[in-house]
Amino acid sequence: MVLETESIQLLAVAFTMGIGAIAPAIAIGMLSGKAMEAMGRNPEAADKIKGAMILAIAFAEAIAIYALVVALIIKFV
């Protein structure tokens, strides 16, 4: 019985980190791609676009950190 509970707990941690890392990675890729397109179309606005892109990437990366925190809580609590 204890082994089953531990296995389910480890699977929950794996799925949490898997999904929690894939979604921000896709978001960061899309953000970067669209920012590069925008800079290519309007090079004069590159500084504004770059600042907004970095801010958006930081918010997307925060989601991965939240997933890590949830996975650690599942594993150790």
Whether this prediction's pTM lies above 0.85 is answered by: no
Q: In order of start, what are the domains of the chain with their CATH numbers?
A: 2-76 (1.20.20.10)
Read off the pLDDT of residues 15-28 as tens digits, 9 standing for 90 and up. 999 999 999 999 99
Give SS3 for 1: coil
- What's the pLDDT band for 2 if we cut at 50, 70, 90? low
Rounded Cα distance between 19 and 67, Å, is 8
Residue 72 amino acid letter: L
Task: Read off the DSSP letter of residue 44.
Answer: G
